[in-house]
Amino acid sequence: MGHPSLVRESGARRSRPVCYLVNVNCDQLLSQLETLVMTSTDRQASLQEVAALLRSSNNYRWVGLYDIDHAAGLVRNVSWSGPGAPEYPTFALTQGLTSAAVAQKQIVNVGEVSADPRYLTAFGTTRSEMIVPVFDQAGNRVLGTIDVESEEPNAFTQEIEDLLEACSKAIRPLWDYPH
């Protein structure tokens, strides 16, 4: 029947998701992110605000934002919002669910992380995790990722994927900063 916290609207496909999560207006969230990006003068502070905004948008347990350093073969956490710092603030690009998202250039959504051998355990209570790539302007290279975790199994629906993919596009300019 669909996720209980979602209400779908019918209508033509738009550039923004047409779902409304309980207490979250997708257009409002995207507008807040776009404003934050346009007025940003401090990448680190802006990314921290993005992580907090995304986390609070749907009561996610943890949200992290990562840089992908292809030359060094590393993934580096640049900000997070949640009960604690990531267990692996830096790890090899060949590890974890992130490696699959970068290699496949697509969202990786795992409904039960304990059943996926690629999962790097960060919090023992994580049940679901989704990695959303942040692409360069041309859409060819993964520059970073949004990592969202939940204590609930199968927490991330298609509507949530669509929303977070739109969020990744909204915050993409934050990866234009030198870092």
The confidence score (pLDDT) of residue 179 equals 53
The confidence score (pLDDT) of residue 13 equals 35
Q: Answer yes or no: is 1 within a domain.
A: no
Q: Answer yes or no: is 118 within a domain.
A: yes
Among 10, 13, 15, 8, smallest CA distance to 31 is for 15
Q: Answer yes or no: is 96 within a domain.
A: yes
pTM greater than the 0.95 cutoff = no
Q: Answer yes or no: is 122 within a domain.
A: yes
What's the domain range around 150?
A: 6-175
Question: Can you give the C-alpha Rg of the chain in angstroms?
Answer: 15
Q: How many domains does the chain have?
A: 1
Angle at 63 between CA 139 and CA 75, to 5 degrees: 55
The confidence score (pLDDT) of residue 137 equals 92
Rounded to 5 degrees, φ, ψ at 68 are -105, 120
* Cα(172)–Cα(179) distance, integer angstroms: 14
- What DSSP designation does 12 have? -
**Helices 26-38 and 43-57, interaxial angle, to 10°?**
170
CATH assignment of the domain containing 50:
3.30.450.40
Angle at 106 between CA 171 and CA 131, to 5 degrees: 65
Angle at 137 between CA 132 and CA 160, to 5 degrees: 25
Q: Answer yes or no: is 141 within a domain.
A: yes
The confidence score (pLDDT) of residue 178 equals 66
Q: Answer yes or no: is 30 within a domain.
A: yes
pLDDT tens digits in sequence order for the chain, 179 residues long: 333 333 333 333 334 444 445 556 788 999 999 999 999 999 999 999 999 999 998 878 999 999 999 999 999 999 999 999 998 999 999 999 999 999 999 999 999 999 988 888 777 788 999 999 999 999 999 999 999 999 999 999 999 999 999 999 999 999 987 65
The helix/strand/coil state of 7 is strand
DSSP string, 101-161: HHHHTS-EEES-GGG-TT---SSTT--EEEEEEEE-TTS-SEEEEEEEEESSTT---HHHH
The confidence score (pLDDT) of residue 46 equals 96
Rounded to 5 degrees, φ, ψ at 108 are -115, 120
Q: Is residue 95 within 8 Å of 120, Cβ to Cβ?
A: yes
Q: Answer yes or no: is 147 within a domain.
A: yes
